[in-house]
Structure 1
Amino acid sequence: MRTTPLLAAAALAVTALLPGHATAAGPPRLAGCGAGQLCLWAKADFKGARQTHELAGLDVDSCVPLPTGTAAESLANRTGRPVTTYQSQECAETGEFETYPGSGTWLPQSPYRVRAFKVWER
């Protein structure tokens, strides 16, 4: 079977979109954000300092502020539960907020700087 350049390029593009798979032109590897974790990166496209929060160590339905002076611009939700991120450090709904499903959400660019989050009961 002969592979055409177009077919090969399409296969490469699909592989680059899968978490944990990278090519020279694809996204960075996201290794280290395992099942049951919420990972937050300081910069867009999963770059910069990463914070990892284990579901086992979080109070469900409680506001978790990020350390003062820090924020996140990208995230991976692998907790298995919905997670709401907040622009406000107090989880106030007067600022921007968004809820992401826990089934494996990968967000390379948040629409705002995340300063707190809340993990919800299913």
Structure 2
Amino acid sequence: MRTTLLAATAGAAALLTSAAAAHPAPAPCAAGQLCLWPEAGYGGPRTTHELSDTDIESCVPLPGGHPARSFVNRTGRPVTTYQSAECGETGEFDTYPGGGTYVPDSPYEVRAVKIWER
């Protein structure tokens, strides 16, 4: 029984290690920030948005027309990500809760965001 339990524990640890390697932890994203990366798995240079410098409930196109492929929402507010740079609802869009949502591989290229009041 003990051998079986040790083998199962070792197998679970190996699965966690391979999952972490597939989606490494992002660079720090402070509380109150929305952090975005141009590559899946939090790769490339990070851009951040904070409530103090972002219009609430307004469409915010990502700078330079560079889409994001991964992001972290720690704003404490819901954030909608849009495939459209104009926050159009004809393309893909999803809303993610605030406080600690980690998305290592967005299902589409994020070209704009909207931070909601609550």
Scaled to the shorter chain, the TM-score interval is: 0.7 to 0.9
* Alpha-carbon distance between aligned partners in 2 of 1:9 and 1:57, rounded to the nearest angstrom: 46
> Structure 1 pair 109/29, CA: closer, same or farther in 2 (3 Å)?
closer
> Structure 1 pair 36/91, CA: closer, same or farther in 2 (3 Å)?
same
Q: Percent sequence identity over matched residues?
A: 59
Q: Give the alignment partner of residue 93 of structure 2, picking from 88, 97, 100.
A: 97
Pairwise CA RMSD: 2.2
Count of aligned pairs between the two proteins = 116
- Any stretches of 5+ residues in structure 1 without a counterpart? none
Which of the two has greater helix per residue?
2
Query: So what's the TM-score if we normalise by structure 2?
Result: 0.83
For residue 11 of structure 1, report the CA deviation from its aligned partner. Answer: 4.2
> Structure 1 pair 34/101, CA: closer, same or farther in 2 (3 Å)?
same
Which of the two has greater strand per residue?
1
For residue 12 of structure 1, report the CA deviation from its aligned partner. Answer: 5.9
Larger of the two Rg values belongs to structure: 2
* Structure 1 moving runs of 4+ over 4 Å: 11-17
Q: Give the alignment partner of residue 68 of structure 1, picking from 51, 55, 64.
A: 64
Query: So what's the TM-score if we normalise by structure 1?
Result: 0.81
Q: Which residue in 1 is equivalent to 2:37?
A: 41
Q: Which residue in 1 is equivalent to 2:50?
A: 54
